[in-house]
Amino acid sequence: MNMSTVVRTLQDLTVEEHTLTVPLVWGDPTDHRTIDIFARVVAREGGESLPYLVFLQGGPGHEAPRPFHSSTSPAWLDEALAHYRLVLLDQRGTGLSTPIGDHDLVRGAEAVAEHLTHLRADAIVRDCEAMREHLGATTWSVLGQSFGGFTTLAYLSTDAASLEDVFITGGLSAVGRHPDDVYALCYDKMRDASERYYRRFPEHRDAMRRLVDLADAGDIILPDGEVISRSRLRSVGSALGTNDGWQTLWSILERDPSSNAFRYDLMHAMPYDGRNPLYFAFHESSYADGHATRWSAERTEPTDFRDDPTLFTGEHIRREWTETVPAFQPWRDVALHLAEFEWPSIYDAAAISASGATGAAAVYINDVYVPYEFSLETAKLIPGVQLWQTSEHEHNGLRSGPVLSHLIDLAHGRRVR
């Protein structure tokens, strides 16, 4: 295994940059393909001997935040560094960990799709174990946000002995469920979120109807050349899954649709874009615990969503986007291959239950991405992980510093501040 380490000092932070070369296919000695895995280890001055906390980012398909850039430094960084050295791992295929991008498509759709089948949470766990061993840590703790929480469940399925405390935020995924179950329930959550929004701003329902008519006529063209379809327009409702996302939606629906401000704001509000094509092509696989997805979100669309285009959608991907979204058109055949792939099971409920996991998890009652009901089912498998059920935050609550503080207090038996 090749490795490299770079140490930097930035203000009061010590940042070590680690790169490991690991197998693309763990557990198959006959497959000699390799990829690089990159992580930054961040510590405050004087905190270099604290235990490690590895952060697993949401997505899938997004790199870890950067600790020294004002636009990406996480709000919870100070709280984490008060207790831990923080390991910011770029999950395989993202950031500086052999990133997947348009340049890969020259290899052909089938080859790229096959490569992507090796980027799942179980492989990320193996990468984590390689990084932990490289750092010389017998054990460490983990903070999993959203898909990072899914990955933490995969960690508990195979390597629980390596984990001290687990902290999960909006990431208690359904275990042993079909993806159709998840996406169907997410439609219910988006229905509720849509109606709550329109109760606050009833005039925006007519505004949305006007925009749907414009989209159907092909009259909404984004600055990047995308002719917005009805389904893409409705996906802007994904913003309702964040603490202040209603403000994003409000600012779009109040604008003149012929204005530059409207077109640019709408473009930036799209939940999937060309910067992270892996997020689009790979997203439904994150709920595929032993099943092919076959465009699950599209197939499970309820009748009322088909009849009422003012109902917003969330992380509901549509096959038609591979034809209508310029950034996704090159990925069409890759996405079609992945939709038919029979994904193996990724969680072991018995192993999770036997893991003896300790820590704390935030479950957001109004979460439109990771349904509350399935999170409670999964929480029963890990009774040692203290549960914080809250409607104070939406799915991105971790970006509010107090969430991590609450979880650390719960895990250590302290009264929540």
Strands 85-90 and 52-56: parallel
Looking at residue 416, its pLDDT comes to 45
Looking at residue 398, its pLDDT comes to 94
**What residues have CB less than 8 Å from 359, skipping those under 6 apart?**
141, 165, 166, 167, 168, 384, 385, 386, 407, 411
Are 259 and 362 contacting, i.e. CB atoms less than 8 angstroms apart? no
Q: What is the pTM of this model?
A: 0.95
Q: Is the pLDDT of residue 5 over 90?
A: no
**What residues have CB less than 8 Å from 72, skipping those under 6 apart?**
65, 66
> pLDDT digits over 272-324, tens only?
999 999 999 999 999 999 999 999 999 999 999 999 999 999 999 999 999 99
Looking at residue 3, its pLDDT comes to 63
For the record, the structure tokens of 296 come out as 């699950």
3-state secondary structure the chain: CCEEEEEEEECCEEEEEEEEEEECCCCCCCCCCEEEEEEEEEEECCCCCCCEEEEECCCCCCCCCCCCCCCCCCCCHHHHHCCCEEEEEECCCCCCCCCCCHHHHHHCHHHHHHHHCCCCHHHHHHHHHHHHHHHCCCCEEEEEECHHHHHHHHHHHHCHHHEEEEEEECCCCCCCCCHHHHHHHHHHHHHHHHHHHHHHCCHHHHHHHHHHHHHHCCCCECCCCCECCHHHHHHHHHHHHCCCHHHHHHHHHCCCCCCHHHHHHHHHHCCCCCCCHHHHHHHHHHHCCCCCCCCHHHHCCCHHHHHCCCCCCCCCCCCCHHHHCCCCHHHHHHHHHHHHCCCCCCCCHHHHHHCCCEEEEEEECCCCCCCHHHHHHHHCCCCCEEEEEECCCCCCHHHCCHHHHHHHHHHCCCCCC
Report the mean per-residue pLDDT for the chain.
95
Are 369 and 235 contacting, i.e. CB atoms less than 8 angstroms apart? no
Strands 52-56 and 34-44: unpaired
Distance, in Å, from the CA atom of 262 to the CA atom of 222, rounded to the nearest integer, reads 9
Which residues partner with 168 through β-bridges? 144, 361
User: For a pLDDT cut of 90, what percent of the chain falls above it?
Assistant: 91
Instruction: Give the residue-averaged pLDDT of 11-36.
Output: 95
Looking at residue 69, its pLDDT comes to 59
Instruction: Give the residue-averaged pLDDT of 93-113.
Output: 97
Amino acid identity, residue 206?
Answer: D
Among 3-7, 32-36, 51-55, 237-241, the least confident range: 3-7
Instruction: Give the residue-averaged pLDDT of 184-189.
Output: 98
- The superfamily CATH assigns to domain 3-176+346-411 is Alpha/Beta hydrolase fold, catalytic domain (3.40.50.1820)
pLDDT tier at 12 (50, 70, 90 boundaries)?
Answer: confident
Tell me how far CA of residue 61 lies from CA of 214, 276, 278, in angstroms: 32, 6, 5
Q: Can you give the C-alpha Rg of the chain in angstroms?
A: 21
Domain ranges for the chain, please list them. Answer: 3-176+346-411, 179-340
Among 55-69, 111-125, 145-159, 379-393, the least confident range: 55-69
